[in-house]
A and B are shown apart, each in its own frame.
Chain A
Amino acid sequence: MEVLELARWQFGITTVYHFLMVPLTIGLSILVAGMQTAWVRTGNERYLKMTKFWGKLLLVNFAMGVVTGIVQEFQFGMNWSAYSRFVGDVFGAPLAMEGLVAFFVESTFLGLWIFGWDRLSKRVHLACVWAFSLATVASAYFILAANSWMQHPVGVEFVDGKPTMNSIWAVLTNNTALAAIPHTIAGTFSVAAAFLVGIAAWRLWRKRKEADEDRKVWRSSLKLGTWVGVVAFGVLAITGDMQGKLMFEQQPMKMAAAEALCHTEKPASFSILAVGDVANADCESVKTFTVPALLSFLAHNDFSTEVKGVEDLVGQYQEQYGTNYPDDPALGELAGKPIDYVPNLPVTYWGFRTMIGFGALSAGIGVLALWLTRRDRIPNTKWFPRMTLLGIALPFIANSAGWIFTEMGRQPFVVVPNPTGVDGVWMFTAQAVSNVTTGEVWTSLISLTLLYAVLGVVEVFLMVKYVRGGIEGVMPPKKPDRDDGGDEGKSDDDALAFAY
C-alpha cells in the first residue's frame, strides 16, 4: 500500500472511532446539565441521582473523546501536509478557534464540575456544567464549519495558487455547515437518547420483581430518552432533507452515488433497497425496489426534476477538472493516470441507507419501550432489555454510516470544487498526502488502531460496571450530618467530595 491508502485508512479509523465518543459526550452532557438544573431548581433527590449516574457514564466516555481528539488536531500535519499547506489559510482558522474558544472552556469547566461539588455554590457549579456542555456544541460548530468548507469551499479567492480566505463570515455561515450542524447535533442527541433508553430500560427490567427505590430515576430517564430521541429524529429528517437539496446543487456526484444512480433520470426514483452489485456502474445486474419520483423531490422539492446519473456526471467532471492526474512524482502510482470520478458506490449507497434505516429504527425502539412501560408497567420478557440494549448501538452505527457516506462520497476530491465558487479551489485527495515514508504511516496506523482497540474494550468494561452498579455505585453513602452538595459545617480537614 502507498502512503495515500494508509493515510486514508488511518484518517477513517481514527475519525470514526473519535466520533463514537463525541456524539455521546455532546448529547449526554447537555442532558446531564438539564438533569442538574432540574435538581437545583426542585431539590428533588431523583434528579440528583440522575445527574450523578449519567454524569459518571459521561465522564468515562468523555476521557476517551478528549484523548482521541488530540490525534485529530495533529493528523493533518503528519499525514496530510500538502493539504495543510494548500488550505491552511482558511481551514486552519476554524480549527484554531475551536481550540481557543471551545476546548479551553470544555476542559477547564469540566475539571471544575468534576471536582467542584463541595467547593462551589450550587449555582456556580451548575453554571460550570452548562459552560462545559455548551462548549462541546461550540466545538462541533467549528469543526463542522471546517469540514463543510471541504465539501463546499466558500469565502475564498485564489491567490498564488492557493485558496486565500477573504470572508470568515462566509466560512462560518456556509449553507453546507448551517445544514450539517443541526443534523450532526441532532445525531448526537439520538445517540444520548438511545443510551438513556437502553440502560434505563435494562435497570427497570432487572429489578422488576423487587422493591426498587430508584425506579423513578429509571422511569424519568427512559421517558427523557424517548422524547429526546423522537425530537432528534424529526430534526434529523428535516435537516437531512435540507442537506440533500444542497448536495444536489453542490455535489451532484455524491447525490448520484448515494443512489447508485447510473443513468440520468427524469423524474428520478428513490431506491429503498437493492439486490445485486451496486458497484457495477452499468446497473444491469441490479434490481432495486424504488419509490417513483421521490428522488426528484428530495433533490429539488419537485417530483419532475431531472437528476443526473453517474455516467453523465463523469463526462461533466472530466471536462471541468481534467481526465488525468498531473504527471507529478509526488502522486506516486497515480501520476498521469486517469482520474476516477465515481466514489465507491456500494459504500455510498449502503452507507446512506444504513444511516436512515438505523436512525429511524432507534427512535422507534424508544417509542416502543415507552409504550411497553406505560402506567408503571415493566415487561416481563427478556426481549425487552435485549431490544433496548441493542438499540444503543443503532444511532452510533447510523452516525458512522452517515459520515462514511459523506466523506467517501466526495472522493476523489479532498476539497470538492464549488460549482458556483472560485476556479482553482479544489484538491484531489491523492495530492493531499505528506511526503513521508510508508513505514511511518504503517507505524502510526497500527499503533493507534491497537491502542484504540484496547481502550475501547476498557471503556465498555467500565460502562458495564457502572451500569450494573446503579445509583449506589456512583453515590457514596451519605454522612448523617451533612446534606449532599451543601457547604454547611464543612471543615478543611474533611475529605474531598470527589477525588481520583
Chain B
Amino acid sequence: MTPEPIELPSSQGELRHHVLSVLVENKAGVLSRVAGLFSRRGFNIFSLAVAPTDPSRRFSRITIVVDAASAPLSQIVNQLDKLINVVEISHVNEQSVVERELLLATIGVAFDQMAGALALCASFGAEVLDATASEVTVTLAAHPDQINAFCELLAAYRVDQLHRTGLVALPRLTTPPVSPASAEPTDPHSN
C-alpha cells in the first residue's frame, strides 16, 4: 500500500484550509454536535483531533482542519459559536500557529534495505518503535508538511500500515483568540 500524499497543509498558493482550535465543554455528545454541525452545513472536515485539556476534565480542545472552499470562514466560526457547548474558537492561520501531527507506519524492509530505511528515519527524526528482521514500525511527530515529505520517501519501501492522527494546533502565544465578529474582515471568501 503506497500512501497517497495527503493534500493537507500546503503553505504555497491560495488558502486551502482553515485550522480552528475549539475549546468545548467536555460533556457527552459534544463531539457529535460539532461533527453534526459540520455535516449539516456542508463544511468539509479534513481532520479532527480531540482530547480533554485540563486536569478537571471540564473542557476538551478540538483541532479541526476544515476545507476553505466549503464555506466562508465567518460562517463556519459563527455557526460553530452557536453550539451551546462551544466555549471559545481560535482561528489559527499558518503564520500564527504551532502545528503538529503524529504518524505511525509499519514498513516492510528487505535485509539490504534496512540501513537506508533507518537512515531515512534518522534524518527526519522519526523513532523506531518496533522491529523484526523484515519490518519496522516507526513514529514521527512533526509539522504536516514534513510528514507528507516523509510519507513520500517511505513509498520507496513496502508500506504495510500507515496511520496519521490529523493535525493538532495551538495559536502562537502572541495571537489573541478570534471572537466570531472579528473573523469576518479577514475572510476572503465572503460574497
Query: Do A and B interact with each other, yes or no?
Result: no
**Interface set of A (CB-CB < 8 Å, partner B):** none
**Interface set of B (CB-CB < 8 Å, partner A):** none
